[in-house]
Structure 1
Amino acid sequence: MPAGVPGNAAAVTSMPAKAGVGLKPPHYRQILEQRPPVGWFEVHAENYLGAGGPPHAALTAIREHYPLSIHGVGLSIGGAQPPDRTHLRRLRALLDRYQPALFSEHLAWSSHGGRFLNDLLPLPYTEKTLAHVAAQVSGVQEALGRPILIENPSTYVRFHDETLSEPVFLAELAARSGCGLLLDLNNVYVSAANHDFDPVAYLAAFPLEAAEEVHLAGHATSADDLGRPLLIDAHDREVAAPVWALFRALLARAGPLPTLIEWDSRVPTWECLQAEAARAQALLDVAGDRRHGGH
Structure 2
Amino acid sequence: MPLLDVKIRAALWVLGAALAFSLLYASGKLTGGLVPAIQIVFIRYVSGFATVGGIAVVRRIPPRSILNTGRRHLHFVRALCGVGGGACSIYGATHMPLADASALALLQGVFVMALAVLLLRERVSMMQVLAAALCLAGAVVIVRGNAPEAAAGFSFPIGIAPLAVIAGAFLTACEVILIKVLSRHESMLSMLLHVNGFAALLLVLPMLMLWQPAPAWELAALCLLGPMAIAGQMCNVQAYRLADAAWLAPFGYSALVFAALIGWIGFGDLPTLATLLGAALIVAGGLLLIRR
Q: Which category of TM-score, normalised to the shorter sequence, fits these structures?
A: under 0.3
Structure with greater contact order relative to length (CA < 8 Å, sep ≥ 6): 2
The two structures have a TM-score, normalised by structure 1, of: 0.27
The two structures have a TM-score, normalised by structure 2, of: 0.27
